Amino acid sequence: MFLKYAPLVLTALLRKKTRTVFTLLALAAAFLLIGLLQAVNSVLAGGADFLGANRLISQAKTSFTQPLPMRLLPQIEAVPGVDRVSHSQFFGGIYQDPKNFFPQFVVNPQRLRDTYPEWTMPEDQWRSFISTQDGAIVGKLLADKYGWKVGDIVPLNSFIWTKTDGSRVWEWRIVGIFSGRDQEWSDRAGLMYLNYGQFDEGRVAGARGLAGVFVVRVRDPMQSERIAAEIDKRFENSADETKTQSEQEFQLGFLKQLGDIGFIVNAISGAVFFTILILTGYTMSQAVRERVPELAVLKCLGFTDRSVLLLVLAESLALCLIGALLGMVAATLVTNGLPPEYPVKTDARVWLFSGAAVLVLASAVGLPPALHAMRIRIVDALAGR
């Protein structure tokens, strides 16, 4: 059935090649945009659940920029179900030029190793990170970018932390270069970890003893939600109330700060969809109008009204499908080519969304001309009336 009619649909599309190609290109551009925009939406909508989260982040309830004191650590560790706890403080260092921005976190090396087993590094480098007060380890990506090797001294000018002598330039000795245990984590190895030892000793007295945020590794991911609630309850009504959420949600929080991205993304997608609807709708109705005598001939040959209707609908669907496919493939290639710090992916969800959009589009633009084609009266059409 389908194969029998496929050549007819194809012939109809190839009847005016320029017009079909132009419409396909317009459709491809529209779906490229929709694919990219909805990929952004997909990131925002995804995550935000505790399911399968084996790492939680405890931050100060007022704001994550407010460091939590180190004394909370043993109390968090004592919560049943907590496996290991580490702490992490954003360092805010500039290497040579503000344009060279990369994140650095001040951590306790042993605790980092326990909570992030995804990072891999030779055993002797882990040992020297643990034992070197001014030690730092850098991700493979970063080390390659700046040509750093073990033993190098890297000066970082922190815009947040001042040393007791009033200077803000901290020197860190690179003692290890880490990588990820799989491709996904290797792609993220663009950051630097600094030893808490030199950091806490060096900073002004008023700031000592602050840990930053706590990273909590739980034994059973299914228990995450309960553990998070229990940690927050422990510090309720103290000066240092905490807010504990899954690591994924914590990171999403940064994106959400940018604003109501969902609204902007959907507004643009809507405008794009409406525009392409009008464009393709016009092409389809034009294509059918030109072919009225041909359609009448088909009917003379015994095609029923219904099969003519389906024929035109199939043509519209084929047009939208090919155009959308081109655009979506382009969108997928673009998002796959983005650097790992942009976690935007044109994933299955986005493809599904676009598939639905194609169906809506194809029926909206195909139905009016298809109904017109169905209602053609053979005599009138052949007479050119």
Partner 1 sequence: MSTLTQVREIVLMNLRSIPQRLGASLVIVIGIGGVVGVLVAMLSMSAGLGKTLNATGDPNRAIILRGGSNGELASFLDRASATLIKQDPAIARADDSLPLASGEIIVITEVPRRGDTSGANVSLRGVEPKGFLLRPDLKIVEGRRFKPGLREIMVGAGAYKQFDGLEIGQRLKFRGSYWTIVGRFESGDAHDSELWTDLETAQGAFGRSGVSSVLVRLTSRDAFAGLKQRLTTNPQLNVDVKTERDYFSSQSSGLTSQIGYLTTIVAAIMAFGALFGALNTMYSAVSTRTQEIGTLRALGFGAAPVIASVMAEAMALSLAGGMLGAGVAYLLFNGYSVSTLGGNFTQIAFNFAVTPALVIKGLVWALAIGFLGGLFPAMRAARMPVTQALRG
- State the residues that interact with partner 1 by CB under 8 A: 18-19, 22-23, 25-30, 32-33, 61-63, 65-66, 92, 98, 157, 159-160, 162, 166, 168, 206, 237-239, 241, 243, 249, 252-253, 256-260, 264, 267-268, 271-272, 274-276, 278-279, 282-283, 285-286
* Of 166 and 302, CB closest to partner 1: 166
* Of 30 and 328, CB closest to partner 1: 30
Give helix 2-14 / helix 305-337 axis angle, nearest 10°.
70
Q: Could you tell me the two tokens for 148?
A: 């750093």
- d(CA 309, CA 344) in angstroms, rounded, equals 40
Give the nearest distance from C-beta 108 to partner 1 in angstroms.
23
User: Among candidates 2, 42, 25, which has minimal Cα distance to 350?
Assistant: 42
* Of 18 and 183, CB closest to partner 1: 18
* Of 130 and 268, CB closest to partner 1: 268
* Of 267 and 300, CB closest to partner 1: 267
* Of 59 and 108, CB closest to partner 1: 59
Give burial (CB, 10 Å; 0-12/13-18/19+) of 300: exposed
117 contact partners, CB below 8 Å, separation of at least 6: 181
Ramachandran category for residue 166: left, alpha or beta (phi over 0 → left; psi -120 to 50 → alpha): left
Rounded to 10 degrees, the C-alpha dihedral 23/29/34/35 comes to 110
Give the nearest distance from C-beta 140 to partner 1 in angstroms.
28
DSSP single-letter state for residue 203: B
Give the nearest distance from C-beta 27 to partner 1 in angstroms.
8
DSSP single-letter state for residue 247: H
Give the nearest distance from C-beta 115 to partner 1 in angstroms.
23
Angle CA 67–340–84, to nearest 5: 40
Give the nearest distance from C-beta 175 to partner 1 in angstroms.
27
Give the nearest distance from C-beta 276 to partner 1 in angstroms.
7
Give the nearest distance from C-beta 245 to partner 1 in angstroms.
8
- d(CA 172, CA 135) in angstroms, rounded, equals 6
* Of 122 and 209, CB closest to partner 1: 209
Length of the chain: 385
Look up residue 70 and give its amino acid. Answer: M
